[in-house]
Amino acid sequence: MAVCTVYTNPSLNSTFSVSRPTKTYLGFQQRQVFFYSTSRRTSRRTTSEITCSAEESKTVVIGLAADSGCGKSTFMRRLTSVFGGAAEPPKGGNPDSNTLISDTTTVICLDDYHSLDRTGRKEKGVTALDPRANNFDLMYEQVKALKDGIAVDKPIYNHVSGLLDPPELIKPPKILVIEGLHPMYDARVRDLLDFSIYLDISNEVKFAWKIQRDMAERGHSLESIKASIEARKPDFDAYIDPQKQYADAVIEVLPTQLIPGDNEGKVLRVRLIMKEGVKFFNPVYLFDEGSTISWIPCGRKLTCSYPGIKFFYGPDAYFGHEVSVLEMDGQFDRLDELIYVESHLSNISTKFYGEVTQQMLKHSDFPGSNNGTGFFQTITGLKIRDLYEQIIASKAAAPLEAKKS
Ligand SMILES: Nc1ncnc2c1ncn2[C@@H]1O[C@H](COP(=O)(O)OP(=O)(O)OP(=O)(O)O)[C@@H](O)[C@H]1O
Ligand SMILES: O=C(CO)[C@H](O)[C@H](O)COP(=O)(O)O
């Protein structure tokens, strides 16, 4: 029997433990409950069983999709910071683990579901982006198990050796983030997501970031960076990029329009595309919900050097879905002045005045802190916290509602 928790039932004056899920009732996994008393053990089903099961199935699952080197790790650091506490690899585990655990969140990297290691991919002539190099059956089974409150032994793809290492134990967290190349590729995995995000970095910007990181930090040549981007492109277009149609929020990163012909990737135009009608998610708006607004906040309250800052907000359509778009082109000179912009936004799900600005100041050394990438990632982190709190509140209310009716 896989015991998941131990409760005291005051009416029976006995302690009981709970076994594996058996079936679904009112949307909750029902579990076989074993009551223990000093003299005998009996097995029966009661209302307490359902309450307990609801307690155990509260893992909220978030998907974050993007190509490699597009800012997923940076986004994850911003997100976990919103929940407080540091995110660290599993204690005493594989030093090359890709997992990050904090009090509230566990971030698993979907590279761990590569079915082919580096040599295997080379032999078969497939890239890591190709679904044939990934085990979607296992990904689905394990994400589902975690969502149902069951721990799993997840494989590890070792980016240092290029090999598949022995698995690591992952316990069900409050919030599970699955980040990587394919969180929305397989329909079964996609259906498990409570919220999904796609980081859509335009080719020009991706190239600029790759050069910055791989040349400066990893000693790669310009030619080899170009070649690696080109080699990945067909599979990126076929398997990664189409996932954005399923995302509840997309952060699109483009070259600025404030400097004609600019392709340097230093000044950015960033668009936060938010799907309408997503449960527990109310899109952010500027000034007036549903209107179309263009705003240049530079002046007395916001210092802007060349080329300035321009905001845009309005409704749009994205892959046939109704969306709201918030856009920022340009970069901030002084992060403390961000409060001026923050105070004109609504539905940002802050817990106190200035929380976005506080988060941005706290991580001013992270890439993108002076532009819309950091700003919108922070806001998305706050929206996820709000979504999580709403889901938990609704789950807590559901057994009570069921009991009443
Ligand atoms: N918002 C940003 N602004 C500027 N550069 C950025 C931004 N986000 C990421 N970068 C650049 O991209 C690099 C990769 O970022 P990060 O490690 O967050 O991406 P990743 O998607 O997790 O990458 P990988 O999958 O390769 O581990 C950073 O070192 C930085 O050079
Ligand atoms: O696209 C990637 C996701 O991060 C990696 O290229 C993929 O996981 C293969 O890793 P490596 O290049 O270390 O063998």
pLDDT by residue (tens digit) across 336-365?
999 999 999 999 999 999 999 999 999 999
Among 98-107, 203-212, 331-340, 365-374, the minimum mean pLDDT is found in: 203-212
Among 42-51, 74-83, 91-100, 219-228, the minimum mean pLDDT is found in: 42-51
Decide whether any atom of ligand 2 lies within 6 Å of the 128 Cβ. Answer: yes
**Which of 337, 202, 344, 338 is CA-nearest to residue 268?**
202
Considering only the C-alpha atoms of the chain, give the largest distance between any 2 of them, rounded to a whole number of Å: 82
Higher pLDDT among residues 84 and 150, named by residue: 150
The residue whose CA is least distant from atom 12 of ligand 2 is 159
What confidence score (pLDDT) does residue 57 get? 58
* Alpha carbons 194 and 134: distance in angstroms, whole number: 22
**Across the chain, what does the average pLDDT equal?**
85
Chain segment 185-242, per-residue pLDDT in tens: 999 999 999 999 999 999 889 988 888 777 777 778 888 888 888 889 999 999 999 9
Type of residue found at 404: K
Distances (CA, A) of 311 to 29, 43, 280, 342: 46, 62, 26, 12
* Alpha carbons 267 and 106: distance in angstroms, whole number: 32
What confidence score (pLDDT) does residue 197 get? 98
Q: What residues are paired with 329 via a beta bridge?
A: 269, 310
Q: Which residues contact 353 (CB under 8 A, 6 or more apart)?
A: 343
Which helix (H) or strand (E) segment holds residue 402: the answer is helix 372-404
Q: What residues are paired with 319 via a beta bridge?
A: none
* Alpha carbons 337 and 64: distance in angstroms, whole number: 30
Q: How far is the CA of 385 from the centre of ligand 1 (A)?
A: 23
Going by pLDDT thresholds of 50, 70 and 90, the confidence category of residue 389 is very high
User: Considering every ligand atom, which ligand is closest to the CA of 107?
Assistant: 1
The residue whose CA is least distant from atom 4 of ligand 2 is 68
User: Considering every ligand atom, which ligand is closest to the CA of 76?
Assistant: 1
Which residue is listed with tokens 């799907």? 275
Chain segment 376-385, per-residue pLDDT in tens: 999 999 999 9
Angle, alpha carbons 99-148-187 (nearest 5°): 80
Higher pLDDT among residues 110 and 215, named by residue: 110
User: From the alpha carbon of 67, which atom of ligand 2 is closest?
Assistant: 1
Question: Once rounded to an integer, what is the mean pLDDT over residues 97-101?
Answer: 96
**Which of 240, 238, 239, 209 is CA-nearest to residue 225?**
209
**Interface ipTM:** 0.95
Higher pLDDT among residues 255 and 214, named by residue: 255
User: From the alpha carbon of 373, which atom of ligand 1 is closest?
Assistant: 1
The residue whose CA is least distant from atom 31 of ligand 1 is 213
Question: Once rounded to an integer, what is the mean pLDDT over residues 327-333?
Answer: 95
Decide whether any atom of ligand 1 lies within 6 Å of the 213 Cβ. Answer: yes
Decide whether any atom of ligand 2 lies within 6 Å of the 118 Cβ. Answer: yes
User: From the alpha carbon of 109, which atom of ligand 2 is closest?
Assistant: 4
What confidence score (pLDDT) does residue 146 get? 98
**Which of 49, 45, 37, 40 is CA-nearest to residue 12?**
37
| Phi, psi values for residue 110, rounded to 5° | -75, -5
Q: How far is the CA of 199 from the centre of ligand 2 (A)?
A: 17
User: Considering every ligand atom, which ligand is closest to the CA of 206?
Assistant: 1
Looking at the chain, the whole-number percentage of residues with pLDDT higher than 70 is 84
Instruction: DSSP for 196-264, please give it.
Output: EEEEEE-HHHHHHHHIIIIIHTT---HHHHHHHHHHHHHHIIIIIGGGGGG-SEEEEEEE-SSSTT--S
User: From the alpha carbon of 265, which atom of ligand 1 is closest?
Assistant: 4
What is the β-pairing status of strands 175-180 and 105-109? parallel
The residue whose CA is least distant from atom 8 of ligand 1 is 71
Decide whether any atom of ligand 2 lies within 6 Å of the 342 Cβ. Answer: no
The residue whose CA is least distant from atom 15 of ligand 1 is 71
What confidence score (pLDDT) does residue 222 get? 86
Chain segment 46-56, per-residue pLDDT in tens: 333 333 343 44
Q: Which of 111, 130, 213 to mutate to test the pocket of ligand 2 (most atoms within 8 A of CB)?
A: 111
State both tokens at 239.
């398997």
45 has a pLDDT exceeding 60:
no
What confidence score (pLDDT) does residue 405 get? 66
Higher pLDDT among residues 48 and 108, named by residue: 108
What confidence score (pLDDT) does residue 364 get? 95
* Alpha carbons 290 and 297: distance in angstroms, whole number: 20
User: From the alpha carbon of 111, which atom of ligand 2 is closest?
Assistant: 8
* Alpha carbons 345 and 284: distance in angstroms, whole number: 7
21 has a pLDDT exceeding 60:
no
Do 17 and 5 contact (CB within 8 A), yes or no? yes
What confidence score (pLDDT) does residue 225 get? 86
- Collapsing DSSP states into helix, strand and coil, what is residue 363? coil
11 has a pLDDT exceeding 60:
no
**Edge-to-edge strand list for the sheet holding 6-9:** 6-9, 14-25, 28-36, 41-43
Do 359 and 81 contact (CB within 8 A), yes or no? yes
Chain segment 142-185, per-residue pLDDT in tens: 999 999 999 999 999 999 999 999 999 999 999 999 999 999 99
User: Considering every ligand atom, which ligand is closest to the CA of 229?
Assistant: 2
Decide whether any atom of ligand 2 lies within 6 Å of the 49 Cβ. Answer: no
Q: Which residues contact 296 (CB under 8 A, 6 or more apart)?
A: 308, 309, 310, 311
